[in-house]
Structure 1
Amino acid sequence: MGFKRIFMAVLLLVAAQPVLSKPIPVEDFWKRSSFREVKISPDGRYLAATVPFEKLTALVVMDLASKQVTGSFKPQEKAYIGEFYWVSNKRLLFTSSVREGANARPSWTGAWYAMDADGSNIGTAYGRGYFAQILDTLKDDDKFVLVQYASDTGSSTYGRMNVENGDIRPTFKKPPTEGYGQFVTDNAAKVRGFIKAKSYKDSKVYMRASEEADWVVIHDQKATGQDFEAKAFSADNQMLYYTLSQDTGPNAVFTYNFKTGEKKQIARDDNVDPGVLLSSPVDDSVYAVRYEDGFPRYEFIDKANPFARNLIKLQASFPDADVYPVSATLDGNKIIYVVESDTIAGEYYLFDNTTQKAEHLVSRASWIDSAKLSLMEPMKFKARDGLEIEVFVTIPKGSSGKNLPLIVNPHGGPFGPYDSWGYNPEVQMLASRGYAVMQVNFRGSGNYGKEFREKGYRQWGKAMQDDLTDATRWAISQGIADPSRICIYGASYGAYAALMGAAKEPALYRCAVGNVGTYDLPTQLNYSTNGGGGMNPAKAFFGDVAQDDVAQYSPARLAANIRIPVMLFAGEKDTTCPPEQTEMMYAALQKVGTPAEMKIYPGEGHGNVLKENQIDYANRLLAFFEKRLKEGTVTASPLQPVK
């Protein structure tokens, strides 16, 4: 009997699904995943998984040999299990977030909870009122984990936390500097690094050859202008792997030799930044660098590594999917891999290193028929200034791929986040209704190096917006989009870009939708720069210029240029883009007579988390697009209100 069937039958977590009709029901795209995370115990005896319900998330443990559920923790309603770790062969630590008051979005309480694999010995392991972050689970110690926390003076410190009662024994040695920072541990759980940031562009990286050695500054961001990120240690802990931004092009992977002080570049892609580095669960040797270059791929630093060979073998078994290791036993004999693609929400497999066979465990969304989903294709075009821009185009399954109604969907952020290839339920929902969807990694997006990201700074409504315009015109020139049936839609910054697109290019789009957006830059700039000190980059992002200059790139002040139908959404409790921004945009549109609809969801924050609100939102969105983009319904000039 398969693991998926065992989980489903014993826990009755997901009801049996009927054969899907056409089109796929909206509700299916917004169902909670059957399993969020799956991890194997260090000795390989148990599997643990987080299981989302409508109003809570549970933690479930199963014995691999007997295929029986041995224990579970189902918290009170409105509580959600977040991170969880195997801290010994039989005990887990986990966090819980709770929805409080009128807030729909849960927040972490700062406490750690613990449970044995058989469901016993459940309790609060740590709840001292200040946050403790796990640095290392200490694989050779069943009673303690290494944690970072704030001292009484507010400086970062670390110590060993008892997994039974949460007591912390401070082990902090030789602080490199006072204040808050992030500690870095090696493979032996020794604290070898400390990263102290004074501002978002002024940080120093302190490293030491051992816990008894002196601290040495190996990187100064303010002096070099380069961004640093620690990634991994070598198997013997004598080298640090890290990434460093470059003057042009993507970031590169370097090693730092603690004995000689030598820094050496070992990997760099021509197109995109390095992602995670994969290490052996047995000896911690680094064997691969992951890149999201259109389709995800790996650069193998050590192809002879047995875990590199395993990954290469599994990639060959799933040629059109992304294969990624998520958990392994200490001896490396059993590894859990997740398989994902644009049409696969996530399938977990247990790979046996001895037999070299993979067994299917569970699915994240078994009710979705991947055969009915649409393919997402990475493509590139050149913007008006010659900058190469990557886009992801999803073409409705079964269509000709030509002359389609198109939804341009800019991502949020905007600086750092980026769209990538993979399963996206919202994109698939839109494609299932016959719309082509184009996601654009405009300048400012992450994954293409510091230079590309910083090309977007202070370019709200300017070059960043031109990239979206150029992408839309490119889709028309390629024959993908019907020029008379194009809408622009996004959330957060994407909402700003949608409304700014409607104002700046009134003849290009037939409708615009903004969700949890910001529409008046002077107001948002004043709001965003309150607090945060030097860590707040708002002025660098928006523009450290006179407010009247910022104002001219604010959709709420350009409402007279918007003569196409608009739909606006917001969350009542949104503290990132307060709902007043949406109300301001709506009022401005009403004043000039532009058709507009607005829905503010009570209790929700920066995006809906309650299922009923997610489904209501999706249905309103689809109805709006159907009315505006259905073939033959648009007859008025885009410069005039469409009623």
Structure 2
Amino acid sequence: MLFPSRRLCALAVAAALSVALPCHAAGATRIPAADFFNNPDFSGAKLSPSGRYLAAKRVAQNGREQLAVVDLVNTTAASVAIFKDADVGNFAWISDERLLFDTTDKQIGQRELRYGPGLYAVNRDGQSFRQLARHNNPFFRFGDDVKDLLPWHTFMLDQDGAQDSEQVYVENINVNAPGDYDHVELLKLNTRTLRHTTVEGPGDTRGWLLDAQGEPRIALTIEGNQQVLHYREPKDGKWRKVASADIFKGGQGYYEPLAFGSDGTLYVRTSTSEDKGVAAVHTMNLETGVISQKPLVRLDGYDFKGKLIFSQGKLLGVRFVADGEGTQWFDAGMQAIQQEIDAKLPRTANVVTPPVRAETPYLLVEAYSDRQPRAYFIYDKDKKTLNLAGHSHPNIKPSQMGAQDLQYYAARDGMRIPVWLTKPAGADKNLPMVVLVHGGPYARGSQWGWHPESQFLASRGYAVLEPEFRGSEGYGYQHFRAGWKQWGLKMQDDIADGVKWAIAQGIADPKRICIAGASYGGYAAMMGLVNDPGLFQCGVNWVGVTDINLMFTGHWRFTSDFSPLWKKYGMPELVGDPVTDAEQFKATSPLQQAARISQPLLLAYGGADMRVPIIHGTKFRDAVSAANKQVEWIEYSEEGHGWALPKNRIDFWTRVEKFLDKHIGGAAASSATTTQSQ
């Protein structure tokens, strides 16, 4: 049974703590896999609207993630929500007095998930706990009659809202099947009384945006392959259609609403002729739907991804991701504060967030680097002091981590390809290398910062190469568009060209290279072994697609959670058409080409995966094993599309470590030396 606890926890912000991130001396002891792949010890820190209180998730003594709140004035801390059989999931401040949160269960896999996340509210001191939405369990009761609760498919709205009362907007999502829903109702909910009203939308609404006062102002609907933006007039509350754009193709004409200013200005993410092929921040005229030609923020070589930072109703700056996460401050005072903090934390990138209605001098600082996992600080701008709140991965030693750099190489057709390169600490040349291919594939792969997978591999002595091959998002429309219908073709060539670049640079030992990845990355790993057998000595594929046709047709035993819209409009354009591209699908199918793979393989799949059902893995395993006797198979029956459970992440990466060591690592090198001496 779920229950709240009001006992004090160990979370504190003490003035005696050092303002510098730890820099441990290098040691011979290898960092355990668990230190990389356990759930974060401290995460998600958020200031209350006034800035007086800090809420964060922290692992409790029972291993569950609890919600804790610190009074930054009195430096007192309290655990306000902790459960025996669940973890606190998402949370947000409703006001300075009250928080909203849902739950998850990080100790079971996807197969065992039967219930929704629930919805709860609690005061910052742990009082007035109230369940708001069902956990989809008819036997669970806590103080309220179950019939009064909202349905299990009620979710938090990922927006701040007004943050000035006990009321909040939440979403009621009409779910048809995994990945498929009709519309999203917006409810205005009183978190004490459970009274709620439904906002009347312009149709089958799929998304909502609140204005600067926390009221619904934008509704997004879908018409065929078009996303349609509707605006709600402040005077009479009537909806008016403003603009539309293709959902999946991007480029000029596509827009994404970001936020409203206090004056009613709508800021959007889009691309115009002045943006040189990247998405930037513009304003939209809500009378005409016309987007400003001149951008407010444009990043050189990167699509804008991020958010606008408001405080006291003023636009202070913009948070963005270029090579890493950063901030462009429009406010001179905040720019000066950023410089003060950077001087105190010179070895990290420091993300500074002010409260939305500052009544205190406190700011939240998230400090990180390629070698340092995220740590949270509180900065007192009056006293100019910086105090540590918590570390996400406190056992990681930065001195044992590798440096991560963004570099570029030319593909065989001349296209400029970004690539992330992580090298082991103290090593530089002629290294065994793992090519880690990101999933998606129409997504951004990485950004500068600490990442457990690449750093784990680097800590074991491997260079890690992560190409942002064509089709990857974040590097402009041309780069994204060039990857359409290029599975196993030019996208694959980009990966091979990156390996050849690393060999030419003297980074990689050409006889010790393995290709690995998950989802699309698993597909690319297998196609790398098919297309370029001379480059790769082994391959690792977890939850990877092994046949493109299977994504369209599925299997009688398994249903994919791809949305009907993506299958109907997105996949034929970006991946290919099963009829007109049938021959291409066959030539670029690892399953169809399995007989050509002779290198050692490690395959791992989740038995409850609804994105890439396990049939992809079992059919490929059986086909490749007919001639290849060096195939290792792992099945986590309770897992879905990736490893949710720390025990499985630790187990998987420990197996990967042994596999790599055997085929391209120290054991392989020792075996080769022994053979040569004989």
Question: Do the two structures share a fold, i.e. TM-score over 0.5?
Answer: yes
Deviation at 1:32, TM superposition (A): 2.2
Per-residue displacement from partner, 1:396-446 (whole Å, max 9, x unpaired)? 1011x1111111001011112321111011111111111000111111111
Show the counterpart of 1:13. none
Deviates more, 1:49-58 or 1:148-157: 148-157
More off after superposition, 177-186 vs 528-537: 528-537
For residue 98 of structure 2, what is the aligned residue in structure 1? 91
Give 1:596's match in structure 2, choosing from 624, 631, 637.
631
The match for 1:409 among 436, 448, 473 is 436
**How do 1:205-604 residues align onto structure 2 when only pairs under 5 Å count?**
205-208=229-232, 210-212=234-236, 215-222=239-246, 226-237=253-264, 239-245=265-271, 249-258=277-286, 263-264=291-292, 265-266=294-295, 267-292=297-322, 294-300=323-329, 302-304=330-332, 306-326=333-353, 328=355, 330-331=357-358, 333-399=361-427, 401-527=428-554, 532-536=563-567, 537-544=570-577, 545-604=580-639
Deviation at 1:557, TM superposition (A): 1.5
Q: Which moved more, 1:107-116 or 1:34-43?
A: 107-116
Q: Mean alpha-carbon deviation: is it higher for 113-122 or for 477-486?
A: 113-122
Shift, 1:140, TM fit: 6.2
* Worse-matched range after superposition: 536-545 or 500-509: 536-545
**Equivalent residues of 1:187, 1:284 under 8 A apart:** no
SS of the aligned residue for 2:447 comes to: coil
Post-superposition Cα deviations, 1:556-583, rounded to whole Å, max 9, x if no partner, equal 2212221211110111111111111111
Change (3 A) 1:627 1:212: same
User: C-alpha distance in 2, partners of 1:319/1:208?
Assistant: 46
Query: Closer, same or farther in 2 for the Cα pair 1:158/1:530, shift >3 Å?
Result: closer
Question: Secondary structure at 1:96's aligned position in 2?
Answer: strand
Is the 2:319–2:325 Cα contact (8 Å) retained in structure 1? no
What does the per-residue CA deviation read over 1:134-177, in whole Å, with 9 as the maximum and x for residues that have no partner? 365554642211334358996544342101133212353xx4x3
Look up the equivalent residue of 1:146 and give its one-letter code. Y
User: Which piece of structure 1 moves more, 17-26 or 204-213?
Assistant: 17-26
Is the contact made by 1:390 and 1:440 (CA closer than 8 Å) also made in structure 2?
A: yes
Measure how far apart 1:182 and its partner are. 1.2
Query: In the TM superposition, what is the alpha-carbon distance from 1:242 to its structure 2 partner?
Result: 0.7
Q: CA shift at 1:24, angstroms?
A: 1.4
Any unmatched runs of 5+ in structure 1?
9-16, 638-643
Distance 1:601 1:572 in 2: 6
User: Which amino acid in 1 is paired with 2:74?
Assistant: S
Q: Does 1:32 align with 2:39?
A: yes
Q: Deviations over 1:42-72 (max 9, x none)?
A: 3344322112468632112233333333333
Q: Which moved more, 1:336-345 or 1:62-71?
A: 62-71
Alignment partner of 1:166 is 2:194: yes
In structure 1, the partner of 2:211 is: 186
- Contact preservation (8 Å) 1:321, 1:341: yes
Higher relative contact order (CA 8 A, sep 6+): 2
Q: Could you tell me whether the CA contact under 8 Å between 2:242 and 2:287 is conserved in 1?
A: no
Question: Relative to structure 2, which stretch is displaced further, 144-153 or 378-387?
Answer: 144-153
User: Aligned equivalents of 2:263 and 2:380: distance in 1?
Assistant: 26
- Gap change, CA 1:19 and 1:505, over 3 Å in 2: closer
| Range 463-472 or range 360-369, more displaced | 360-369
Conserved 8 A contact 2:547-2:592: yes
Q: For 2:106 and 2:452, how far apart are their aligned partners in 1?
A: 24
CA gap 1:138/1:560 in 2 versus in 1, 3 angstroms:
closer
- 1:457 Cα deviation after fit: 1.6
**Shift in CA distance, 503/137, structure 1 to aligned 2, threshold 3 Å:** closer
- Once structures 1 and 2 are overlaid, which stretch shifts more, 466-475 or 18-27? 18-27
The equivalent of 1:630 in structure 2 is 665
Of 99-108 and 588-597, deviating more is: 99-108
Q: Residue 222 of structure 1: CA displacement?
A: 4.0
Q: CA, structure 1 residues 55+523, in 2 after alignment: closer, same or farther (shift >3 Å)?
A: farther
Q: Give the 3 Å change call, closer, same or farther, for CA 513–165 of structure 1 in structure 2.
A: same
Task: Give aligned pairs, total.
Answer: 617
Once the two structures are overlaid, the 10-residue window that deviates more, 493-502 or 48-57, is: 48-57
SS at match of 1:581: helix
* Correspondence for 1:145: 168
One-letter amino acid of the counterpart of residue 416, structure 1 = A
Do 1:96 and 1:108's aligned partners in 2 also have CA atoms closer than 8 Å? no
Q: Which residue of 1 aligns with 2:83?
A: 75
Deviations 1:56-93 (A, max 9, x none): 3211223333333333321132x221111121222211
Task: Report the alpha carbon displacement of residue 121 of structure 1 after superposing the two structures with TM.
Answer: 1.9
**Separation in 1 of the partners of 2:53 and 2:600?**
54
TM-score (normalised: structure 2): 0.84
Name the residue aligned to 1:202.
Answer: 226
SS at 1:560 equivalent: helix
Relative to structure 1, the CA distance from residue 132 to residue 5 in structure 2 (aligned partners, 3 Å threshold; closer, same or farther) is closer
**One-letter code of the match for 2:582?**
Q
Give the letter aligned to residue 222 of structure 2. Answer: A
Percent of aligned pairs with the same amino acid: 27
Distance 1:46-1:592 versus aligned 2 partners, 3 A rule: same
Counterpart amino acid of residue 314 in structure 2: D
- Cα displacement (A) at 1:594: 4.4
Separation (CA, whole Å) in 1 of partners of 2:581 and 2:389 = 58
Range with greater deviation from structure 2 (462-471 or 628-637): 628-637
Residues 406, 487 of structure 1: 8 Å contact kept: yes
Answer yes or no: is the 8 Å Cα contact 2:527–2:588 preserved in 1.
yes
The residue that corresponds to 1:61 in the other structure is 69
Cα pair distance change 1:170/1:535, threshold 3 Å: same
Using the size of structure 1 for normalisation, the TM-score is: 0.88
| Equivalent AA in structure 1 for residue 541 of structure 2 | G
Once the two structures are TM-superposed, the CA of residue 593 in structure 1 deviates from its matched residue by 2.8
**Contact 2:539-2:601 at 8 Å conserved across structures:** yes
Report the 3-state secondary structure (helix = DSSP H, G, I; strand = E; otherwise coil) of the residue aligned with 2:221: strand
Structure 2 counterpart of 1:334, one-letter code: Y
Distance 1:136 1:167, change over 3 A: farther
Cα RMSD (Å): 3.1
Q: What's 1:12 paired with? A: none
- Determine helix, strand or coil for the equivalent of 1:285: strand
Of residues 319-328 and 336-345 in structure 1, the stretch that sits farther from structure 2 once superposed is 319-328
- Distance in 1 of aligned mates of 2:608 and 2:652: 16
Partner of 2:128: 121
Residues 531, 104 of structure 1: CA spacing in aligned structure 2 closer, same or farther, 3 A cutoff? closer
